[in-house]
Amino acid sequence: MKKVLIFTDGSCLGNPGPGGWAAVLRLDNTTHRREICGGFRLTTNNRMEVWAAIQALSALRETCEVTLYTDSQYLRNAVEKDWLGQWQRNGWRKADKKPVLNVDLWQKLMPLMHAHDLKLRWLKGHAGHEENERCDFLARECAARTGLPPDEIFEKQK
């Protein structure tokens, strides 16, 4: 099974505001790497963090052993503390009975996570890690573009 390292980040210029996401995918122990990124005209930082993970895992063409690095506590806690499982069991409601935000994205992410041997690792953002800094740069660059498409689900909720 191929071993892949994935680094992700999301960014928003205002929150909500124009947003960008980015991922760097590296085949472990090789120099092979791929960068992917994009953005939306109105979204949130948390949506972009999760969207980056969705896009990165979707880019894999076969089942892989994946270590996904994120600086998002939101993504980290949802996975590591099994918030996702709890939310799903509770009909996508939090412990306080309020609706879970970004259900559309969590529902896309969950099967992608289960399709791979996934380990999620948290990185401190803006701490000089080369791949995390690259993702941050790409995400901010994408958020600043003109003519971004709508984040249709988010915009319908506004």
Contact criterion met (CB below 8 Å) for 37 and 43: no
Q: In sequence order, which residues have a C-beta less than 8 Å from that of residue 110 and are 6 or more positions away?
A: 84, 88
| Active site amino acids | 9-10, 49, 71, 126, 136
For residue 88, count CB atoms less than 10 angstroms from its CB and return exposed for 0-12, middle for 13-18, buried for 19 or more: middle
